[in-house]
Amino acid sequence: MTKLREKMIREMQLRRFSERTQKSYVMAVAALAKHYGRSPDKITNTEVQDYLLYLMKERKLAWSSCNIAVSAFRFFYSKSLCDESIHLSIPPRKNRLQLPEVLSREAVEKLLDCTTNLKSRILLMATYSAGLRVSEVVCLKPEHIDGSRMTIRIEQSKGNKDRYTILSGRLWEEMQYYLKVYRPTIWLFYARFRDKPMHITTAQRIYNAARRRAGIIHGRGIHTLRHCFATHLLESGVDLRTIQELMGHRYINTTIRYLHLTHARLSSVKSPLDLGSCPSEEGKPC
């Protein structure tokens, strides 16, 4: 590890940045250095801006990815190098509501039935039944599962917060068998070596493989199961505040968007085409 990277990580640790943020920032600065083939402290302000244009125009990265790069560069130059001469900014994205895709309950059941082994099945069941982020499910430990209180403890998730969510009775029944067969020690879903947690990309692959076998064409990404959790609870009559707490949303507005996805809400409204004919004079169209 270079001294520059060491210093950058130390500065982030002092500010209590999450592990995920530290990794994202380090990767962004490393990619910048690789692009120009030299140390990042030798790269000029103009070159950094040119690189951002390259990310936007040629690589066509999403606004969020470019914003992470900007934040990483700004932190590296201003905090690690103490250089305030580099000014970076990108215009804020236009406000737009993008509704997540949601699977029906029948599709979720079909997805679970198309897993190839017990570990994959329990992983997807836990993600859906508790509304977990993929980063949360792969970091679960056996002691986080409380069968007596029927809760799952999530430690230091997004925003460095702990929370409890529900443990499904059906999941707990199948998980007890899983615990006997796989005997996890440190991590509930361990990787090839038991002292390492399953990687996020492995969990994504498990989901996508099951989705393809189930013949489900939408709902790409394991995060779909978290969306399904919130939407299906709303359709069952659970209040928004409870769902907000279970999902660990900081703001209720984040949870409110699931109102747009509930089937019960949409199906209760009739299309004007189904409302019947409009009154008209005999022989004349209305």
pLDDT digits (tens, 9 = 90+) for 161-185: 889 999 999 999 999 999 999 999 9
157's enclosing H/E stretch is: strand 151-157
Q: What is the pLDDT of residues 218-252, one digit of tens each?
A: 888 999 999 999 999 988 889 999 999 999 988 88
Which one is catalytic: 5, 74, 158, 163? 158
The CATH H-level superfamily of 3-80 is Tyrosine recombinase, N-terminal domain (1.10.150.130)
Residue intervals of the chain classified under CATH 1.10.443.10 are 105-267
What was the pLDDT predicted at 164?
93
Token pair in block for residue 239:
């209040």
Which one is catalytic: 110, 223, 257, 263? 223
Tokens 């997807």, residue located: 124
Fold of 105-267: hpI Integrase; Chain A (1.10.443)
The alpha carbon dihedral of 19, 62, 221, 161 has a sign of positive
Q: What is the pLDDT of residues 180-227, one digit of tens each?
A: 999 999 999 999 899 999 999 999 999 999 999 999 998 889 999 999
Question: pTM for the full model?
Answer: 0.71
Residue intervals of the chain classified under CATH 1.10.150.130 are 3-80
251 counts as catalytic: no
Which one is catalytic: 119, 121, 226, 227? 226
258 counts as catalytic: yes
153 counts as catalytic: no
119 counts as catalytic: no
Tokens 């659970």, residue located: 238
144 counts as catalytic: no
